[in-house]
């Protein structure tokens, strides 16, 4: 069964819900709604990674996320911390997070893998070629999917060297990170090559710009959520372990229909 990771941004500047959940109580309430809608994991982030976003001081990031993680973990929620900072990752796990979701795959902070290795948390290693302020500068590939696969393999090797067991690693192809427009569709079309690396794979397409561009006419979030649900089903068909989304209910329903279609209504 495909795991749904619900997105919880405790930031003022995330591209679709910035500022809505800066207050810890509002964030915890939203997490409860995501969980009730079908999220198996709540991914808590305190720094926006939207294109053009500026970095946030790790101290500010921790002030935003740690009270929320503590509150959710106390309620038995499976929490992931979305961070590129090793110190924040370690503090998040100490607060109760079970997964570290690093979109940079350990490249933004060279201490990340060692910090995670010292815990029992799993880690999501994203494919990444630079920070949000200039993430498209390196969106140049001779063989896109082959390079993504190779670069992810390199990061897996670095994680193993740091002491992270292979069973603790999840791979993320980095849709929208260092990839422009149709490059994202190319990665998704060949997702089975990343699944073929033998790790769990997490796919995050939710509300991203390449979906907006595909739909045209600056579609509202409800249309992008519908498109996200479709990509979630296709990712599941390609063997993805999990999908990371804002609208959990739409993706839950789409995956339920996929299961019924596949199993003949059983």
Catalytic residues: 208, 244
The Cα–Cα gap between 50 and 209 comes to: 10
4, 245 Cβ separation under 8 angstroms:
yes
The Cα–Cα gap between 221 and 219 comes to: 7
Distances in Å between the Cα of 261 and the Cα atoms of 41, 233, 258 are 25, 11, 5
DSSP lists the bridge partners of residue 82 as 45, 101
The Cα–Cα gap between 246 and 126 comes to: 18
The backbone torsions φ and ψ at residue 141, rounded to the nearest 5 degrees and listed phi first, read -135, 145
CA-based radius of gyration for the chain: 17
Distances in Å between the Cα of 146 and the Cα atoms of 151, 192, 194, 260 are 9, 12, 9, 34
The C-alpha angle with vertex 124 and arms to 228 and 75, in degrees rounded to 5, equals 80
DSSP letters spanning 98-151: -EEEETTTTSS-TTHHHHHHTSS-EEEEE--SS-GGGTTTT---SSHHHHHHHH
User: Given the structure tokens 């930031």, which residue do they identify?
Assistant: 11
């Amino acid at each position: 069964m495909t795991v749904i990771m619900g997105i919880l941004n405790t930031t003022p500047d995330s591209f679709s819900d910035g500022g809505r959940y800066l207050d810890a109580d509002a964030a915890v309430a939203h997490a409860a709604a995501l969980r009730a809608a079908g999220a198996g994991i709540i991914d808590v982030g305190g720094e926006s990674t939207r294109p053009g976003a500026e970095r946030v001081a790790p101290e500010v990031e921790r002030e935003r996320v740690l009270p929320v993680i503590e509150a959710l973990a106390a309620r038995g929620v499976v929490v992931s911390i979305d961070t590129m900072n090793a110190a924040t990752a370690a503090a998040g796990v100490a607060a109760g997070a079970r997964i570290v979701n690093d979109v940079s795959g350990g490249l933004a902070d060279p201490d990340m893998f060692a910090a995670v290795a010292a815990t029992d948390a799993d880690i999501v290693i994203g494919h990444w070629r630079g920070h949000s302020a200039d993430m498209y500068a390196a969106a140049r590939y001779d063989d896109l999917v082959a390079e993504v696969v190779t670069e992810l393999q390199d990061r897996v090797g670095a994680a193993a060297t740091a002491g992270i067991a292979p069973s603790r690693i999840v791979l993320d192809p980095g849709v929208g990170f260092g990839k422009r427009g149709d490059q994202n569709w190319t990665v998704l079309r060949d997702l089975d090559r990343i699944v073929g690396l033998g790790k769990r794979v997490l796919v995050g397409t939710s509300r991203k710009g390449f979906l907006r561009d595909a739909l045209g006419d600056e579609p509202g979030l409800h249309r992008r959520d519908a498109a996200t649900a479709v990509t979630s089903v296709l990712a599941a068909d390609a063997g993805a372990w999990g999908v990371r989304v804002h609208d959990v209910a739409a993706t839950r329903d789409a995956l339920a229909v996929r299961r019924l279609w596949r199993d003949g209504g059983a």
